[in-house]
Structure 1
Amino acid sequence: MLNSPMIASEMLRRAEVIKGVGEAISPVGGPADPHPGRYKASWYARVERKAIGRSRKKRPVGVVGNSAYYARWVEWGTERVRAHHVLLRAAQAGGR
């Protein structure tokens, strides 16, 4: 049952909800930003099969991420830029 298409579609649905929240709360640079909106447009959601638990059987897992090269700095911040924790906040708000 855990490998059924029904479970995979539910994992994708939850990932899409988190992605949508992430897009909605993504910061967008101002007029001086050379690539305004790149971070907001770089969100993705997909289902992958990953080994879970002791049995190491592959199960469908919803994956949400951002492909912008600076996504980790937006999430965790730097010494000059405060952390936004976009993915953390999106996961807390969505995925139900």
Structure 2
Amino acid sequence: MPARFKMKRAGVGEMLRMPGMKAEMLRRADVIADVAVGLSPVDTRSPDPGHYKRSWETSATSRGGVRRDRAAATVRNTAHYARWVEYGTEKVRAHHVLLRAAQIGGRNQ
């Protein structure tokens, strides 16, 4: 007789919020942040060269996602000009550091 499986939504939700799942999401975010540090441009003419490169950070929560029902992690750059580095301006080309880091880091998992 074949095995039977009945999924319980509450059990899946509990699994997605487990400490081990949160730790794994943070590990993956750290990999992406490490790649982002390596890809980050440094303007040697600025008053604080390397500020953008030093401003990468990660965090994790067990209440992430749209429904706040699963572990999630975030990679962000706290430099006030990070969005202009990522997306560019009229005078400066976009570097897409986070985009490229997520693409490369996702393969390195």
Give the superposition deviation at 1:59: 1.4
Is 1:74 the counterpart of 2:85? The answer is yes
**Which amino acid in 1 is paired with 2:33?**
K
Query: Cα distance 1:89–1:51, how it changes in 2: closer, same or farther (>3 A)?
Result: closer
The secondary structure found in structure 2 opposite 1:94 is: helix
Aligned residues: 92
The whole-number CA distance in structure 2 between the counterparts of 1:73 and 1:33 is 15
Q: Runs of 5+ in structure 2 lacking a partner?
A: 1-14
Q: Name the structure 1 match of 2:5.
A: none
TM-score by length of 2: 0.80
Give the aligned CA root-mean-square deviation in angstroms.
1.1
Q: Runs of 5+ in structure 1 lacking a partner?
A: none
Is 1:64 the counterpart of 2:75? The answer is yes
Query: Cα distance 1:58–1:40, how it changes in 2: closer, same or farther (>3 A)?
Result: same
Which protein is richer in strand relative to its size?
A: 1
Pairing partner for 2:26 from 1, 9, 12: 12
Which protein is richer in helix relative to its size?
A: 2
TM-score by length of 1: 0.90
The 5 A counterparts of 1:1-96 are 1-30=15-44, 32-48=45-61, 49-52=63-66, 56-95=67-106, 96=109
Give the superposition deviation at 1:35: 1.5
Q: Percent identity?
A: 55
Q: Which has the higher contact order (CA 8 A, sep 6+)?
A: 1
Give the superposition deviation at 1:57: 4.3
